[in-house]
Amino acid sequence: MYHPYSKQQPMQYMPQQQDVRQPSPQQQQPPATSSLSSSSQSCRYDSSLGLLTKKFIALLRSSAHGDLDLNRAASQLKVQKRRIYDITNVLEGIRLIEKNTKNHVRWIGNAAVNAANETTNDNIMTTTTPSSLSASTNELEQRLAYLRNYNQTLENEQNHLNIFKQQIDQEIERVLKNNASYCYLTMDDIDRFEVIMAAQQEALVVVNAPYDTDIEVHQVKNATPTKKKADIAEA
């Protein structure tokens, strides 16, 4: 303790110097903001591209005969055409599509999937690990989903053709009914047919029968009965 009348010099307070070391350049960590930002952008790009690829494949499979116009695809998906090219380059590389004509691609996944299924079957015979079985199950489920979509496309096309055929049959029936009075042959018509048939070495058979009658004609050469449908209009 210091007394004010003491001859001893007061002790001076010397502040201790703290050892503050600057981190070396090797210890300084670079900011991770830019790397995280680029990584998140890459993830978002991959996610959007994957979703766009699924939409493109669905549009391609739903198109008629598996042929798709890339201009129409870009318009319907509302993306730039270069994004469509990114997808087609990948799908063509794994042999799921092929270029049909200019700006047109065609789905050829059947052959590729069949080859993949054959390879999968071989792998199942050689290895029966849980991971291989899970991968095979996923491939079979994808194959089943594709076949269902393809079958639905064929059914829709068949329904369209049936409707079109029904319209044509109704039109033919209408024309025949409206012109029934003109459905006859004159002797001059028969004479002309005889000349034509003789030149072609064919036989002419005239039958008076109701409309939509089935007849059997035995050919002279090999005597094989042939069943033919007579196109005869009602009188």
Instruction: Read off the pLDDT of residues 161-201 as tens digits, 9 standing for 90 and up.
Output: 999 999 999 998 899 889 888 878 788 888 888 888 888 77
Same domain, 164 and 207: no
Q: Do the domain assignments include residue 1?
A: no
Domain count of the chain?
3
Cα 8–chain centre separation: 101
Same domain, 43 and 89: yes
**Gap between the Cα atoms of 117 and 109, Å rounded:** 12
pTM for the model stands at 0.32
Report yes or no: 174 and 199 within 8 Å, Cβ to Cβ: no
Where is the domain boundary, 75, 107, 139? 107
Angle at alpha carbon of residue 160, lines to 154 and 161, rounded to 5°: 90
* Greater model confidence, 77 or 197: 77
Whats the size of the chain, residue-wise? 235
Same domain, 72 and 117: no
If we measure between CA atoms, which residue out of 107, 117, 115, 112 comes closest to residue 153? Answer: 107
Q: Do the domain assignments include residue 216?
A: yes
pLDDT at 133: 58
| pLDDT one-digit tens code per residue, 79-117 | 998 888 888 888 888 888 888 888 888 888 755 455 545
If we measure between CA atoms, which residue out of 206, 207, 194, 202 comes closest to residue 220? Answer: 202
H, E, C per residue of 80-143: CHHHHHHHHHHHHHCCCEEECCCCEEEECHHHHHHHHHHHHHHHHHHCCCHHHHHHHHHHHHHH
Report yes or no: 114 and 146 within 8 Å, Cβ to Cβ: no
Q: Do the domain assignments include residue 32?
A: no
Report yes or no: 74 and 80 within 8 Å, Cβ to Cβ: yes
Q: Do the domain assignments include residue 22?
A: no
Q: Do the domain assignments include residue 7?
A: no
* Greater model confidence, 235 or 212: 212
Question: Which residues are registered as beta bridge partners of 228?
Answer: 215
Where is the domain boundary, 107, 130, 151? 107
Same domain, 162 and 115: yes
Q: State which residues form the domain around 101.
A: 39-107
If we measure between CA atoms, which residue out of 109, 131, 106, 107 comes closest to residue 120? Answer: 131
Encoded tokens for 184: 């006859």
If we measure between CA atoms, which residue out of 219, 217, 220, 218 comes closest to residue 228? Answer: 217
If we measure between CA atoms, which residue out of 87, 84, 56, 88 comes closest to residue 71? Answer: 84
| Distance from the first to the final alpha carbon of the chain | 145
Checking if the pLDDT of 226 tops 70, the result is no
| CB atoms closer than 10 angstroms to residue 70 | 18
Where is the domain boundary, 85, 107, 129? 107
Checking if the pLDDT of 25 tops 50, the result is no
Go through 122-149 and write b for each residue having 16 or more CB atoms within 10 A of its CB, e for each that does not.
Answer: eeeeeeeeeeeeeebeeeeeebeebeee
Q: Do the domain assignments include residue 4?
A: no
Same domain, 102 and 127: no
